């Protein structure tokens, strides 16, 4: 937890983005059973995604915790998560995320990874899609995508869920 908090520490405006550590080590191998074990804390597994077209993934789920959406992807090893998952993770997070159209790398669950933003008074058809998940963290063999209004809030939300997964 301290590593993630330190990784989100403030830097100058010019280097704040580069000071964020998304890849956190850890020898632990996570699985869906770890998520099921924390359901009493308010974690709800909403959806299981088909992963045939997601390179290296063993499992992928949509989860809700504290009224926020998360996506969790599991890989065989930490190295697999980093090597095979980073490109896909980078593509759906941040301000330049690709969440609609032909450029989406993995289409399964595509609609769950975007949110509709519209100016006040704009009709329903005036929807501008943006990324639901501003940030992600790779911890052990797991990639965790987190919702938040800003990067720092998304990282804090990641930290909150990771903390539940760690033994006391």
Per-residue pLDDT for the chain (168 aa), expressed as one digit of tens each? Answer: 444 433 433 333 334 444 467 898 778 899 999 999 999 999 999 999 999 999 999 999 999 999 999 999 999 999 999 999 999 999 999 889 999 999 999 999 999 999 887 666 666 666 788 899 999 999 999 999 999 989 999 999 999 999 999 876
Cα 104 from chain centroid (whole Å): 16
Q: Provide the total of helices (H) and of strands (E) in the chain, helices listed first.
A: 4, 8
pTM of this structure: 0.84
Question: Which phi and psi angles does 155 have, rounded to 5°?
Answer: -65, -40
pLDDT value, residue 6: 37
Q: Which residues pair with 143 in a beta bridge?
A: 73, 138
The answer for 109, left when phi > 0, alpha when psi is -120 to 50, beta otherwise, is left
Nearest to 30 by CA among 135, 167, 165: 165
Provide the β-strand partners of residue 68: 65
9 burial (CB, 10 Å; 0-12 / 13-18 / 19+) is exposed
Given 3-state DSSP classes, what are the helix, strand and coil percentages for the chain, each rounded to the nearest 5?
A: 30, 25, 45
């Amino acid at each position: 937890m301290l590593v993630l908090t330190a990784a989100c520490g403030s830097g100058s405006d010019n280097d704040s983005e580069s000071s964020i550590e998304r890849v956190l080590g850890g020898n632990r191998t996570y699985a869906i059973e770890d998520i099921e074990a924390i359901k009493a804390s308010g974690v709800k597994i909403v959806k299981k995604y088909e992963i045939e077209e997601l390179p290296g993934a063993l499992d992928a789920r949509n989860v809700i915790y504290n009224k926020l959406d998360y996506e969790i992807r599991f890989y065989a090893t930490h190295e697999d998560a980093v090597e095979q998952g980073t490109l896909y993770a980078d593509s759906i997070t941040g301000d330049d995320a690709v969440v609609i159209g032909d450029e989406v790398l993995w289409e399964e669950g595509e609609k769950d990874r975007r949110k509709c933003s519209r100016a006040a008074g704009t009709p329903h058809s005036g929807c501008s899609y943006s990324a639901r998940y501003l940030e992600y963290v790779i911890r052990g063999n797991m990639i965790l995508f987190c919702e938040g209004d800003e990067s720092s809030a998304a990282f804090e939300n990641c930290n909150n869920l990771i903390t539940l997964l760690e033994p006391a």
